[in-house]
Structure 1
């Protein structure tokens, strides 16, 4: 790995020899000084830093495949460095600020080379920050002199960056001089001193002085000449916009004190919306989302703002004023520090509401005020050592929240959440009062509330001149001159609660049964433990040896070297039971009081004595061992009785009661069986299919014949060639979704080429459809790829792909194993099969004759009535599919019905009158044809569509099912009609596909081989792995009638649950029951109901 890293670095910088030379010089220097031994490295260029434009960073996170890295096995250590936000707050106090840097801080700290491989603390190790901070803190705490400056350095040294402030030039000079003395005592060179005071700068040695006018203080630019901080926001969207790159762009904006909160809010909300839309980390966003993200970045990009560094005088009295606000998008608080008539924004904080659940605005406002209280307390804790705070104000624009705070007991009115928030704010106020700081709560109107913009967001242009930076104008006035609407009040003290708690120390059991997955493993472990105890107690005094043996039930006669035998397992079981009964002694006492007749036997084990003493049962069954219910040991015993043959509830209970007595046994046995993975394969029910959706638009809206079609293949059909040899052929049916017209083609095989040729014939004779609905047969999937992508390697003829690609057909594939979704064409396949079986019987026709028969069947079925033929001739006539295929000419001009010119002999000669009469007759025939077509569509709308309600079904008839809802990531058993039930595969739900009505009818699964597939929910059986399986809350009426006891349900075998085979002549519209162990059938054996 080290050699590979070295080669990578050499390739990267082979065109920069001066860079490699400097790199080599640094390593040789560190090697001579004993700082390093042998490491892998990575170059980190810091061209903007004058002191270290090039530095070595040891890559301690590098690792070989399957092996841990050095950082993985090192302990990070506790966080003892000061809070970076608190340091920045303190940096904004005082008139004079001083910063410095420790030269090669990590490489100055020497540590034990026996414990670590390196002789110095290497830059890049996960433990390096702690080791450096601990080393410096140790020396600062042991410093005899300069205690004051040592404490200030400790509180304001972040890694190797020192930040200090002073009020006068003399204080600043003293801080520099004492800091240098302490650093020299630590054998660390403190350099790069930067200050905004020319007087202090003049006293700093030239070698320690930083010559740059602009310095970085903990990541924030500081212009020392004007004593201003520079805030910048650079948000450039990546070329590839994904959820990961959006997060990277947001995180690249460094804003530790929340000054850019209004600017970044909309970007944070956009990132939250990506979670709601369930984007994967590296999934490309949609064009709409990408455009929105680019606009958001453009609105805040290149924002730059300068603000004064000093906002508080160390010797003055200050006030902390915090505003809070909330909206449906965010909750925010901003804090201003005020001295005299001047105030500046110090810190702000925002939080987005959770995407789970519904949040009311008052509760969000309550959370926002809690955030304000926490922020104020944290700020005070960071600043109280260096500035004096007299008063704290918390202002909100929600009067509901303020009334909650005035209420002595808000629990009865507001609920637990608000009550807890009120109690927390009162505790915060109490802490301030303990420090001698007054706390006031008040109202602030929305237009004067600077936190309002932090909950709605601002663009870069809007943020420049906004009250966000200095708050409302009235803050510069005395509190008595504030608006009357503020209505300040003090928070009432929290009422004291006296609670009496009884504490009983829980005894830790010697054997933790919950760590074992089976009773056999537990007994083996305890048996080996007993053998170990026998060995270690051999040389003990007899008194101690006897006490240990009695405690654990260890027999004196035992060979330590022999393997485990039955006697060892029995002794181990006794020890396990005794430890268990000791742990649950209180339950045993309670059951004794209930007259279960529980007594101790000679081995010190509690047994239940019933009234079966005179029976011929074994002694263990007459006096079973008492086991506490719902305990880990009870579960292991039940699992062992359930066994590898997975006995039923009654059989398992009988097996347990041969030796043990467990109260509430039936309930626990059912729980174990429900969580048994092998039993769930047979006992669990599939998901219940949601109510059937409305018919799709293409089924109920007037359109051209064959504009929207469904297609499928049926067969194989038997044919014979000229030599009399039998062969296979297939039928291809095209069904109009609107008019119910059908078109049948005979193809010689089920290959893609034959299917595409059949499509060409259909489109040439009928019409090029706009949409095609089909199943997921490989023939159709390859045909779709040819249509859309023109795959040259899949084309039998080069012209076929071009022809079909230009057709522009939209394919709509139904969910696999959900044939009812294609019921409108599957129903006609059954009619074609019936007609073939009745007309041909056992005869085998040649290909030409079979094609003729199929065309005649097509003609016959196209003439079937679609609506009921009324007996009254004046009623609407019945329509047929064929009626929509003819009479389709539309007259685009007005027909003149006047006949005067034809009848007048003086107007035209006889020959022209005859021609004109013929012309008029043709026009009348066309108009009559047009009227007939319109009449057909009228009957279709008024009679046919409304008659479909007669066959309406709300639910899919699927037999027994589970009311549970599928969950993302849930493990399910995938039904396969071609395999026995024990051969069904497992899958994990990777995506929930919601329909337009919000119901989940199909899901996407990730199978064990890594492939993904779609399935309807009623073909998936949920498995509860690693968690308690919930009991089914409802059963079908048939099961309720058949099962009269709980044992019968548990003892039912898979063969009893298997559904009956579906007969070929099932009535139209029926849906099969849930076939749990189906015979090997094809999808054509299913009847369909959803679309027909």
Structure 2
């Protein structure tokens, strides 16, 4: 049985052992026995059972010519590929420099086998010499010519040095790279064309490595071919090689880049195959199948490594040559890569399709052939497009004159008498000869751009002041109802101008003495004002108006300029401030009287605090629970910020204060986890227990700590007391627990109402009046009067005290909550589809994240205070106070409307404090 060679590579030894074992087992079932395993890993060879004598460090041994890898020699110890020159079969005189015959030269050239093109500069040079020998008609057994013999001896000298070249079998940093790029270089000369492919890898530590993948070089056809066509052949070869390399590798490149130093080929590729003759069109179609237009770039000839394979063998062709390392700019950042000049001119190559008929419709008035202004949003683009139209018209006119001259020349040859009659009226034929440079595509001149601007402004006047122009031409003045009635105007050279009093001033431009009048509401005028505003680096209204007045007199310039500046996106991004909705109504949890304390609770964490445990210091955190109704607090020590610690702190609070029905908090991960833990515990309980102990946990929007003002203010009070007591000392945990209990009592003793200095007034109302005045866990069984304080039933006395607390709470404390800090709000309400910036005061304005509002959450008062924004990082929920609304250029904005949602997007700051 015969089995062909099996080649593979693996990232780890474990993978190699597993797959080779499977391959051997599968083949043994079909009675195919795999032997003579070769590897650069001795451990793998021992696992496969190969003896050491049969596995030398080199796969190739001089006495055995068949052990090859892709025709190359694999030195497993160094894991490199080298070349077997096979010079033992060649007579020594040929190697030493003897002039060979045609047959001997072919034998020497064929002794070098390079399937991957690692040494294409050497092999292709030999093919060029053989082609020249063939072109001269030398017989097989005749020696080559003396001039070719000199080149032959130089090539043999380079051939003997190939045994020093070693190519790494593995690509540099291929497996662990974060970015993998494929770069293909193509080039051609009069005698050959070539393509070379490289991997460019970027490691996590930003190290850049470049590895040669393969290359291919071919000699030019015997039939004379132009250099642009050979360059196109090289480009098509590079595209095919890139497609083959990508198909053969499991990992696909993140990007492809094709480099050529031929601007003609780049123009062909960018124009498309339909504009050229079959030879070019067919090869362009092949290139389009394997690449895109944006993947092709220009490279200077001195940096094009493919050029090394199209000419003589480079000097010092060794492992350090750029052929193996790639061009120097690939080892640098992309900003330093070569770029194509934008002002380059392209000559006609004769490959373009010829269009025999050109139909040109020239109108008497140029303004009627101008582009549609409503299709443009940029003044420079409008002016540039208009200039291109004018340039096209000029070329068409020149073409018509040339055709007319050729017709006259034919008439002259047919009728000499006709030539004499026309001689006096004809222009000299020399003036119609088209020079070579006239057939190139030149950049638009400054004169053409100025003419385009003048025509645009004239068209603007004709559209805005058609009646005024007609009145001045017919009657010498404008109607009293005209917008220009109060201005002194004159119609000169096709323009309406201001008749000023400084006409006698010398060395003053006409634009300043008699500026052209424009309508501020015209779209062309607005585009020009916007251009001036951008040219002045987004200057203010007054600076923009002053610059505009240097060239034109614009009617209603101030309101128009102010509108343009206010709608400028860059200016709004620099100066806009967030919108502030009006203060919302207080939610029921802040107004729920005659409820057990901590029925509605807000929770937050602060810390860490350092405590002394033995001889070590450990961190502790404090969980603060705030009753949203009576503003009492409860403090618990937490050992960490994880979910389990948060759940245990909550359970201790419930054991002492009772189970709350609603809990508010921020979006801390531990509190989110506690919510999940409670839901899991509730799901596992009975239906009755779940109904009695279900806790509704609600979260304020991310990035909005001001919405949790109820507990944030309590955190500050506790921190002030701790700082004043501890003085940066580390107490024991017992001391900290005692201190927190005393601080809890102190904060709960603060007055909620006005503290009177009169002895006749009752003492101020505090949270402790309810916490310490009676059993807080028993609901109020009924109403009470003054006689209940005299009964011997102590529980009714306690309930009377609680009822007194709530009576005073409603009468004295509740009216103080009526005031709104921001009764009217500020800014434009947010709606769906608005473009916004997320305010982050820790970052500069130009780095704030931008996004689009996709959902709004109006509160009970129908005011939006919370929205969802889609950004490039995902969907975020943020408060309106952290958003800057960006302008959308729309003269007719849609009416604002709010989305409905089950979530009451009320301002939680207003809801809970």
TM-score, normalised by the number of residues in structure 1: 0.40
